[in-house]
Structure 1
Amino acid sequence: MSRPSAAFFDLDKTIIARSSTLAFSRPFQAGGLITRRAMLRSAYAQFVYAVGGADHDQMEKMRQFMSQLCAGWDVATVREIVADTLHNVVDPLVYAEAVSLIDEHKREGRDVVIVSTSGSEVVEPIGAMLGADRVVATRLKIVDGKYSGEIEYYAYAEEKANAIRRLAEEMGYDLDESFAYSDSVTDVHMLEAVGHPYAVNPDKQLRRTAVERGWPVLVFNRPVALRSRASLPQGPTLAALAVGGAFAVGGYVWANARKRPHSG
């Protein structure tokens, strides 16, 4: 009897078109969690993230700012804001190609797992909205119902691959028959962990790695509202999405990465 397989997806710039956590800047400001000045700072961070031009020093400064920002936030308030605004914030950002690909994997009997450096308070509701079977995400330490500003579990770089291997052991996944998708070179370890790695809208370094290793490269560029998911036309198949014929070429995050160019 064959073992089950899975499809592992990074979130930011792979399933959705921008940083999942940064997308909630305005609702968090409206809910009284952050000031207008902080919202503008996060908007700047989103711009830097979108163009992919942040160097390590810029990202470290933004990480420190955002890490300090979330300390003391009420956990229940954050979850309520995310739940109340999820569709309005995320719906227009989800790639139609990713939705079709998720559906394709589910039809073929694979579990769909989102593996993201973004915080679990944001990633888990998005995963539920997308119909993911499981979610791996960064978790912040909670003390007396508030975020302490410390990281309890950090789903970044090699840890994503470690998490995938632990899940494979727990669920019996055959990783040689499993798939992984990401946009960032920081997720190379995650892509290496499976038999079918795909670079999605890759940054320059990941694109170079994909070319060197013969990994397929997919281009997603059609955001769609999930409310219309049931009426979506059948998306292109995995083979049709691959670029290059025979060569065929996953915000601020809650207390973001130490050396993270951009990955979600």
Structure 2
Amino acid sequence: MLGVVENHSLPRTAAFFDLDKTVIAKSSTLTFSKSFYQGGLINRRAALRTAYAQFVFLVGGMDHDQMERTREYLSALVRGWNVQQVKEIVAETLHELIDPIIYDEAASLIEEHHTAGRDVVIVSTSGAEVVEPIGELLGADRVVATRMVVGEDGCFTGEVEYYAYGPTKAEAIKELAESEGYDLERCHAYSDSVTDLPMLQAVGHPHAVNPDRALRREALARGWPILDFHRPVRLKQRLPGFAVPPRPALVAVAAIGAAAATAGLVWYANRRRSTVA
């Protein structure tokens, strides 16, 4: 428990949260692939590939090279997507897809930081069109996310305007600290990946959450707290008054997503067998 209310005569503070596998149990971007498939933005082959990427992410996370390949693939994939359509799909499926995979422990921490008078900032490599609605769902005060270039036709060009990854996350929170008056020495940060080491080093209270092996080693060497989050819970279970209107049309989306995920696992297993052979 954090348990200390901020002294408002002191500089402001914040808690910075990575999103994927820190606040939610899956990759936020890849989670929506089933909805993008149903909405006609991606084909079956792309859906299978993103299902496989989600599987790799869940099993062991992604290292730097895998993240870079995924970024390049997704940047090319979204070229020509209508931004408004993406936002509408995310808004329509947000509760069905994200609500069930929010870690109870993370939601509690967010509440505790707010109670203590700290701002909560989500800092994610995923795109702003996905992260901003999730941040709103979580009650975050601010969001830092990757931004894609949007053309005059309202579609993604495939170029990246700002990539929230590695050192750029640390730079972003330092800029926020300057503009918002945060005292970083009194701020908290949470992440699961060693790629966020610069962000964790930028604050006085870093925490490793469900850390990959490299971050676990760093956390142990530096004496940082290591937190294990493993209880995804729906917000309506935490907040009895929380209600989401039913969306019968989305039942097919879940079915397609499950089929794609299963096919991705089969493809992965066949790939491993062929590699061994």
Answer whether TM exceeds 0.5 for this pair. yes
Partner of 2:130: 122
Indicate the structure (1 or 2) with the bigger Cα radius of gyration: 2
Q: What letter matches 1:18 in structure 2?
A: K
Between the aligned partners of 1:16 and 1:223, the Cα distance in structure 2 is 8
Q: What letter matches 2:32 in structure 1?
A: F
Question: CA offset at residue 65 of structure 1?
Answer: 2.7
Question: CA offset at residue 68 of structure 1?
Answer: 1.4
Q: What letter matches 2:139 in structure 1?
A: G
Question: CA offset at residue 58 of structure 1?
Answer: 4.9
Partner of 1:138: 146
Between the aligned partners of 1:27 and 1:53, the Cα distance in structure 2 is 22
Q: Per residue, is there more helix in 1 or in 2? A: 2
Between the aligned partners of 1:56 and 1:136, the Cα distance in structure 2 is 20
Q: CA offsets per residue over residues 11-40 of structure 1, 9 Å max, x none? A: 000000010010001110000000111101
Contact kept in structure 1, 2:22 and 2:106, CA below 8 Å: yes
The 3-state SS of whatever aligns with 1:152 is: strand
Contact kept in structure 1, 2:208 and 2:227, CA below 8 Å: yes
Between the aligned partners of 1:222 and 1:153, the Cα distance in structure 2 is 32
Question: CA offset at residue 59 of structure 1?
Answer: 4.7
Between the aligned partners of 2:61 and 2:142, the Cα distance in structure 1 is 31
Between the aligned partners of 1:136 and 1:60, the Cα distance in structure 2 is 19
**TM-score (ref. length: structure 1):** 0.85
Between the aligned partners of 1:5 and 1:54, the Cα distance in structure 2 is 30
Partner of 1:18: 26
Between the aligned partners of 2:65 and 2:165, the Cα distance in structure 1 is 18
Cα root mean square deviation, aligned: 1.5
Q: 1:157 aligns with which of 143, 149, 166?
A: 166
The 3-state SS of whatever aligns with 1:113 is: strand
Partner of 1:239: none
| Greater length-normalized contact order (CA 8 Å, ≥ 6 residues apart) | 1
Between the aligned partners of 2:202 and 2:23, the Cα distance in structure 1 is 19
Between the aligned partners of 1:151 and 1:176, the Cα distance in structure 2 is 31
Correspondence 1:60-209 to 2 at 5 A:
60-143=68-151, 144-209=153-218
Contact kept in structure 1, 2:75 and 2:160, CA below 8 Å: no
CA distance change for structure 1 residues 15 and 73 in 2, over 3 Å: closer, same or farther? Answer: same
- Give the length in aligned residue pairs: 232
Between the aligned partners of 1:130 and 1:53, the Cα distance in structure 2 is 23
**TM-score (ref. length: structure 2):** 0.81
